[in-house]
Amino acid sequence: MLKIIDFYLNQLLDSKPSPHQKIILANLIAELKELKFPKEELVDILSISIIINYLLSDAQLIKMYTPLIKDAYQTISDILGDALYHKIEPKVIAVEDEFYRNICPDKRQFQNKLSEEIRELLILYSNEKYSLHSN
């Protein structure tokens, strides 16, 4: 399972941003959910993925914001790596800040999408916890 995560992450880091990467990113997140990756870190990855998905949805946005997309991928890599989380959090905030301040058409729309993702994550984690206790 960890090799699959590395495979997806390397595809994101090593290739030029394109709309196809939305699929790779979705696969990476699905694997992290399957592994029950720590919630706090996964929420940050979900937040970054919502931003990346928006940017990857338009060729002009990809061209204009390739450095931000690459920074976002590197931040995900840092979260998944061995770095201390308190040193990564400012990178997460920087990506979100850049997006919400300079790119985002409707901050509420993205916050609602993140809230929906968090709800689904909490349900997934609580169902797993319940099923572990019921055995």
Evaluate if residue 135 carries a pLDDT over 50. no
Q: How far is CA 94 from the centre of its chain?
A: 14
Confidence of residue 131 (pLDDT cuts 50, 70, 90): very low
Task: Indicate whether 134 pLDDT > 70.
Answer: no
Q: Residues 64-108: pLDDT tens digits?
A: 999 999 999 999 999 998 767 778 899 999 999 999 999 998 889
Query: What pTM was computed for the model?
Result: 0.86
Measured between alpha carbons, how far apart are the two ends of the chain, in Å?
A: 24
pLDDT at site 36? 86
- Please report the pLDDT score of residue 44 as a whole number: 94
Q: At what angle do helices 2-14 and 59-80 cross, to 10 degrees?
A: 140
**Average pLDDT of the chain to the nearest whole number:** 89
Mean pLDDT along residues 34-49:
91
Closest CA to 62 of 131, 111, 15: 15
> Nearest-CA neighbor of 88 among 74, 67, 68, 105?
74
pLDDT value of residue 128: 63
The answer to whether residue 15 scores a pLDDT higher than 70 is yes
**Residues listed for the chain:** 135
Per-residue confidence (pLDDT) for residue 38, from 0 to 100: 87
